[in-house]
Structure 1
Amino acid sequence: MHPRFPDHKHFDAVSRRGFCRLPFAAAASSLLPGLALAQGSEVALAGLAYSGDAASLSQRFPFSTAYEKALKAGGKPAHAMLREAIAQAPAGKLKLVTQIDELKGRDQAVAVALVVGAETVSVEQLAGLHKLFVLIRAQALFFDFKSMSVIRAYPISFGHIDIFDRRPTDAEVAVRVRGVYEGAAGKPGIFTRFATTLAGASLPAATSRTLQITRVTIKPEATGSIPEYLRSASTVTETWAADLVGEALSTRAGVPIVPYAKGYAVGNVMSMRISDGDVYNLKLPKPDYEIGVELSALRKVKYGGAAAGESFIYGSYASLRIEEPLSGKVYMNTALKNGEVKLVPSTQTYVDDFPAFYDSVNGLFVKLAEAIDGRDAKWVKAAAAAPDIDKQINDTRELFKLCK
């Protein structure tokens, strides 16, 4: 690892404030008794799962599946890791049981799984250094295993960057992948984030509506600043952006998001394989409301300079549209901009722009979600192009209440 670049380690793929949050529980049908569901229903823990064709899991998730096998060989499988994380989580609204079998024969049979949707592991060589990037994108996915349909989902992700003065070995990569799942540098990993998400999750009432990001556009002025490992295919870039927006809305405004179909499903059917070998083909609900996202540009501008170093503003430009397709009613339609300042010491010879651009894009959607949630709205008034942004924020807040 190169000692001159400590600020490039531990890139949080959820928020600049720290890795996302989440936890799971101990054992038996009394697991997390404080998690009481609406109508006294229970939710079964299905465990760890992977989305997509089961036959290609080892090609699409080589490090995650190897990590899962290592856990099992060590006597503490992924299911146990999830239960342990949940046991440390605050009490929430749901009552969880440990196995799907416990709900068989009941009228309502809802399960939740940690569904890994994408594993990105990339090594870039820059200025004689090797940058290792690890990103896991997942979802806390609730589904009815009788009707085989998705009920709701909460996006989760965690990214990690390390700099080496040589190419990292597979063993070193495996250590970083383990840190993404279990936590690194004092930040909670995917397991803990899943558990924390469950603590704040709820099942929809009969009248609840659904939200889905259905359109993602990345303009050329933005694509050039996104690393190759996130633009190896258009669907990879679009899914990354959809997950980023969905996670900001889910974690900050508390609204569930139907999985982005282009990245996770074929024909609106999402396939997933649970770690115990069961394969499920789940129907995605048709959303009541659709979200369109455009990432228009990413720009770096020098802000200041001195003998000690220089500062730059990393600007992101995007637009968001939320509408009801049947009626054509538009709740939000505005362009947005956000800038984050990065200080570069004069002694630093290599600058990786992407973490700063990520902070800028992520910050844009996090701040927007917080404004919709009723928190500080000063930023959105200055950042939004729409003259009626106050009305759009209020309309969207009321809409989100229908989706919770």
Structure 2
Amino acid sequence: MMQFLRRRHAAAVLGMFAAFICLSPARAAAPDVVYFAGIAFTGDAAASEKAFPHLSRVLDTNGSSQVNASIRDQLKTHPAAFSVSFDQLGSIKDASHSVALALAVDRETTSVEHIGDTYKVRLEIAAQLLFFDFKEKQVLGGFPLILDYVDVRGAPPSEDDVLAGFRGMALGTSAHALPTEFVAMLAKASVPSAATRHLRVASVTLADKTRQYLSTTAPTIDADVLRTQIAQEFGKYLAANQKLAILPYSSNKAIGGSMAARFVEGEAYQLKIPEADYEISLDVAGFKKVDQGHNNVNSIFIYGSFVDATIREPLSNHVYFQQRIRQGATKEVPVTQTSVDDWAASYESLLLLFNNFTQAATNPASPWVKSALPDSPDAKAQLSSLAELIKSCR
């Protein structure tokens, strides 16, 4: 049995691993101190058991305490780039003492593929350093990181095996365990500045073709949980690639409550999302799997994602961008592999779409645009308009 625990760039091509994202947002006057609020799940707190079937068991009261204690202990020898407080309370009324930080867990993924006489098990945790300014009542931004765990074994993994894998990723002390990666990111991160204008993913819908694809490739996926994850993923890529402060998709009681508790006025404060100046709507139009051919060694497939994206100003209902975006990603499958996780590959292509689009949003000349957007004057004009909008939000 072979085991690997790795950190991975959120936009890696299928089957490839790289370093995690290092974000360098524009700086404003740095706060005197940032108040650590611990680890919590993003999304709807009531759906955490569906969204995080294994991590919700690992990060029970004791598990969360272990992560928090490990982070605190490691910061003693590997300090952050700014002052982090565990024991004192801040003040919502004081701008230099109003910023909270959480280790926000966005997603867990389990994938099992049968290759010859072995089983490849891949576990993934997507998380972020999430900063929130309670004086300005807005999310300042996040620094995303992804952990991969790969286990090659001679038999299918049991539920206990999968749970043990996630436990090691979340509570372990290895170089690439979640607390260690979080502390390493803190050494590089700076506190994002507050935006003067706010962008937010306001809605995510799944088209009929997407729901049909899910029913055959991933029937256990909860549609509501998936919509929340997609909104969060897009927001993270936009924040990281454009160095923006993005308002959250939805209010989260777990994160909001733990953050508010770090301030003297926290008990009376409810985490609320300010009105966005610009709203983003995403309709996941569908997925495709195309067989590109075979040889004596591999079969080659292309997984495609299609998203209808709209960015508008809600007050005037002016639309800055409204186009269908497409993305393909290639996956080579050994001829000895008898099962393929089509949903994992499809979701990877969707993340690649988000990464490429949010990079090209301020670079209309990007070669990627030619393959991803319609080749029309209208699409080009809208992308240029979107670029100006994003620049105005920095």
TM superposition score category, shorter chain reference: 0.7 to 0.9
1:107 aligned onto 2:94: yes
Q: Which residue of 1 aligns with 2:57?
A: 62
Shift of 1:364: 1.2
1:78 aligned onto 2:71: yes
Shift of 1:382: 2.7
3-state SS of the aligned residue for 1:337?
A: strand
Q: Which residue of 2 aligns with 1:321?
A: 310
2:169 corresponds to which of 160, 163, 179 = 179
Cα pair distance change 1:185/1:300, threshold 3 Å: farther
8 A Cα contact 1:339 1:360, kept in partner? yes
Q: Which residue of 1 aligns with 2:104?
A: 116
Q: Which residue of 2 aligns with 1:32?
A: none
Q: C-alpha distance in 1, partners of 2:114/2:304?
A: 23
Of residues 330-339 and 97-106 in structure 1, the stretch that sits farther from structure 2 once superposed is 97-106
8 A Cα contact 2:218 2:343, kept in partner? no
Of residues 117-126 and 104-113 in structure 1, the stretch that sits farther from structure 2 once superposed is 117-126
Q: C-alpha distance in 1, partners of 2:66/2:92?
A: 34
* Identity score, percent: 22
3-state SS of the aligned residue for 1:260?
A: coil
Alignment of structure 1 residues 4-403 onto 2, 5 Å: 12=8, 14-16=10-12, 18=18, 20-21=20-21, 38-39=28-29, 41-50=31-40, 61-65=56-60, 66-71=62-67, 76-81=69-74, 87=80, 95-99=82-86, 101=88, 103-104=90-91, 107-108=94-95, 109-116=97-104, 118=106, 120=108, 131=121, 133-138=123-128, 140-144=130-134, 149-154=137-142, 156=144, 158=146, 160=148, 162=150, 164=153, 165-168=155-158, 170=160, 173-179=163-169, 191=182, 195=186, 198-199=189-190, 201-204=191-194, 208-226=196-214, 228=218, 231-232=221-222, 234-261=223-250, 264-265=251-252, 271-273=256-258, 281-374=270-363, 377-385=366-374, 387=376, 388-403=378-393
Cα pair distance change 1:254/1:333, threshold 3 Å: same
Q: C-alpha distance in 1, partners of 2:94/2:66?
A: 37
Q: C-alpha distance in 2, partners of 1:271/1:80?
A: 24
1:219-259 Cα offsets, whole Å, 9 max, x none, are 23223555648722x32010111122112212222222111
TM-score by length of 1: 0.74
Q: Which residue of 2 aligns with 1:30?
A: none
Cα pair distance change 1:341/1:55, threshold 3 Å: closer
Shift of 1:50: 2.3
Q: C-alpha distance in 1, partners of 2:212/2:177?
A: 30
Cα pair distance change 1:58/1:310, threshold 3 Å: closer
Work out the number of aligned pairs and report it: 371
In structure 2, list runs of 5 or more residues that go unmatched: none
TM-score by length of 2: 0.76
Aligned AA (2:65): K
Q: What value does the CA root-mean-square deviation take over the aligned residues? A: 4.3
3-state SS of the aligned residue for 2:189?
A: helix
3-state SS of the aligned residue for 2:314?
A: coil
